[in-house]
Structure 1
Amino acid sequence: ECPQDDCKRYFKVTPGTGLKGISTCRCPYCGHEGPSKTFFTRAQIDHALSVVKNKVVGAFLKDMKAMEFNHRGGGIGLSMKVHGQPPPIRGYSEQDLETESLCDACSLRYAIYGVFGFCPDCGAHNNLSILDANMRVVAKMLSLAATVDAEVATSLVENALEDCVSAFDGWGRAVCEVFAAKAADPAKAGKISFQNVMRAQEALKIHFGFDADVVLGLEAVAVLHRAFQKRHLLAHRLGVVDDDYLRQTGDPTIRHGCRIGISASEVEATAAGVRAWAEALNAHLGRLP
């Protein structure tokens, strides 16, 4: 449990995994770092104290029991009888958590509430691991689409695009929140949305000095923007092309009022572009002072 009063959130680590011989721990939620002994939960501390009390009182009673006597002489009899039980050991149970993670940097296994967090051992953030796990699901959906009839395949490919965009948006929001303190305006930086590529690109440039056009290339960003706009049509207009889509993308392959098409190869390219963006942004944020 994090010892910080404004955090106090619970997490678990698997003994025998991660770094060896370290005496510090990091909260996966707020990033606070301190001696490992300060991260025990209140229930664990109460349990440990009850074990100590049980052992100490038990040993005392045993010693006193050995001193019992019952002396009956011709006059007044004397005796000593010891009664009592050691105080009970307080039980406790570990809480069930939502996400189990394996740190790519140090191999620590840990569990947290939510999805994103710092490694309690080495401090590495798990954001790319979580994004990669989501991209693997997207890849499986595309593989399945290749084995079914056309109608089901179309639905799978469109859902894969939706999942790809949602995963990137969730990843981006989490990363910007983690690194918000390094931004020009932390309050706004922690609320950047990644569902619109161009708006996200502009916000990242303003708040973190990250220019996707320069890092990834104009064409790569344009491809992502077009795919994300297709996702917007699928989610909000049943895939029917409107003037806003044509204005934003300049897509010459389709007319107003037609239903947008999305291929498996486009989704694969989108997933690859998302991963490249994520890796570049993650590295950039890590270098900021």
Structure 2
Amino acid sequence: MFEDLIKQLQGLNGRSISIPIQTDEKGYIDKQCPSPQCEFLFKVNEDDWSNLFRNEAVWCPMCRHEAPADQWFTIEQVEHSKSEAMVVVKGEINNALRSDAQKFNRSQSRNSFISMSMEVKGGTQRTYAMPAKAADVMQLEIRCDNCSARFAVVGSAYFCPACGANSVVRTYHDSLRKIRAKKDSEEVVQQALADAVGKDEAELTCRSLRETCLSDGVTAFQKYCEGLYEPFGKAPFNVFQRIDEGSELWRSALSKGYESWLTAQEVSSLKVLYQKRHILAHNDGIIDQRYVEKSGDSTYKAGQRLVVSKGDIEVLLSLLDKLGSGLGDACGRT
């Protein structure tokens, strides 16, 4: 009586249901880091996913978590797939029941004193899966310097998902971009905090943000120079946090020091900013005589508290961008 239903249920045993995934308008498919601590969302070019990526390993562009290629579906794709698979199964069972009902009804004799019929309600249901929709286009598109794989992110990316390589140049410029974003967002952040927790907390937070911009810039330049310097050997510890020593190291490697890309005044300004970062990191921003002597900054006296302005941050970004580009060109890493 229920031959079609039994056959359908037997066919479902061990069966897999394929759920299509749409690409966005630029041909990218959505991926998500499977690490619960990260879950970073990004996109990869569909052709490159087929031709350049390996099944054995894919890397997260944010945290470099490594996992096989079949573990990078997004949470939304997984939930959509579960829902669509259930729709397909229900539809096939419903249609098998309808087929059995029709066969049963045709088999009944019209001349019988007692007649029986079977009815399946709900109408014909679909037995195909709808594709998972693509998320909005991500504006920051990247091509890996090492393997040429194309991927896209929101914000920043540090590693290629296809080969795991870290681009020293891209990471450096991303770091400078993040510093600029912090500086440019200060008014918005301050107003939001003032409305939420009060003006005092808003002022303290924004002052701290400005001060961390100096530290972030110095650290970004240090890591950038360490990466560029690798072909020449291992750089001395933290040498690129010291302007004169870093310049001399590059002069030995490239026959060019920082003065090849910055004017004397710009080098002097960079030294002052580096000393400001040092006094913030090691003396909580309280000026000492050593700072006055080493920086040549006559605007402060020992015992004062350092003030970091948005102008300081803008100058630092401009000088680090100019110096970083010059070093990158000289090292063939543009």
TM normalised by structure 1 equals 0.57
Q: 1 CA distance for matches of 2:265 and 2:159?
A: 30
**Structure 2 CA distance for partners of 1:116 and 1:249, relative to 1, 3 Å:** farther
Q: 2 CA distance for matches of 1:136 and 1:155?
A: 18
Q: 2 CA distance for matches of 1:198 and 1:128?
A: 22
| Structure 1 residue aligned with 2:184 | 143
In the alignment, is the contact (CA less than 8 A) between 2:158 and 2:170 conserved in 1? no
1:199-214 equivalences under 5 Å are 199-214=245-260
| Structure 2 residue aligned with 1:108 | 149
Size of the alignment, in residue pairs? 193
Q: Describe the superposition over 1:60-116 as per-residue Cα deviations: whole angstroms up to 9, x where unpaired.
A: xxxxxxxxxxxxxxxxxxxxxxxxxxxxxxxxx4354455892377963379xx947
Larger radius of gyration: 2
1:1-289 equivalences under 5 Å are 16-17=47-48, 93-97=56-60, 99=62, 102-103=142-143, 108-109=149-150, 115=158, 126-147=167-188, 148=190, 149-177=202-230, 179-180=231-232, 186-187=233-234, 189=235, 193-286=239-332
Q: 2 CA distance for matches of 1:272 and 1:104?
A: 26
Q: Give the aligned residue type for 2:183.
A: L
Fraction of identical pairs, as percent: 23
**Structure 2 CA distance for partners of 1:245 and 1:271, relative to 1, 3 Å:** same
Q: Give the aligned residue type for 1:103.
A: R
**Structure 2 CA distance for partners of 1:17 and 1:225, relative to 1, 3 Å:** farther
Q: 1 CA distance for matches of 2:281 and 2:308?
A: 13
Shift of 1:146: 2.4
Q: RMSD of the alignment, in Å?
A: 3.5
Q: Describe the superposition over 1:30-80 as per-residue Cα deviations: whole angstroms up to 9, x where unpaired.
A: xxxxxx9xx98xxx7xxxxxxxxxxxxxxxxxxxxxxxxxxxxxxxxxxxx
Q: Which runs of 5+ in 2 are unaligned?
A: 1-43, 65-140, 191-201
Q: Describe the superposition over 1:156-206 as per-residue Cα deviations: whole angstroms up to 9, x where unpaired.
A: 1001221111111111111111x31xxxxx34x476632122221122112
In the alignment, is the contact (CA less than 8 A) between 2:60 and 2:159 conserved in 1? no
Q: 2 CA distance for matches of 1:116 and 1:95?
A: 10
In the alignment, is the contact (CA less than 8 A) between 1:173 and 1:193 conserved in 2? no
TM normalised by structure 2 equals 0.50
In the alignment, is the contact (CA less than 8 A) between 2:287 and 2:306 conserved in 1? yes
Q: Give the aligned residue type for 2:272.
A: R
Question: Which moves more between the two structures, 100-109 or 152-161?
Answer: 100-109
Q: 2 CA distance for matches of 1:240 and 1:155?
A: 14
Shift of 1:142: 0.9
| Structure 2 residue aligned with 1:7 | none
Q: Give the aligned residue type for 1:283.
A: D
In the alignment, is the contact (CA less than 8 A) between 1:145 and 1:154 conserved in 2? no
In the alignment, is the contact (CA less than 8 A) between 1:176 and 1:191 conserved in 2? no
Q: Which runs of 5+ in 1 are unaligned?
A: 1-12, 21-35, 45-92, 181-185
Residue aligned with 1:102, SS: strand
Q: Give the aligned residue type for 2:229.
A: C
Q: 2 CA distance for matches of 1:278 and 1:233?
A: 24
In the alignment, is the contact (CA less than 8 A) between 1:173 and 1:192 conserved in 2? no
Q: 1 CA distance for matches of 2:332 and 2:314?
A: 27
**Structure 2 CA distance for partners of 1:231 and 1:163, relative to 1, 3 Å:** same
Q: 2 CA distance for matches of 1:265 and 1:116?
A: 32
In the alignment, is the contact (CA less than 8 A) between 2:168 and 2:228 conserved in 1? yes
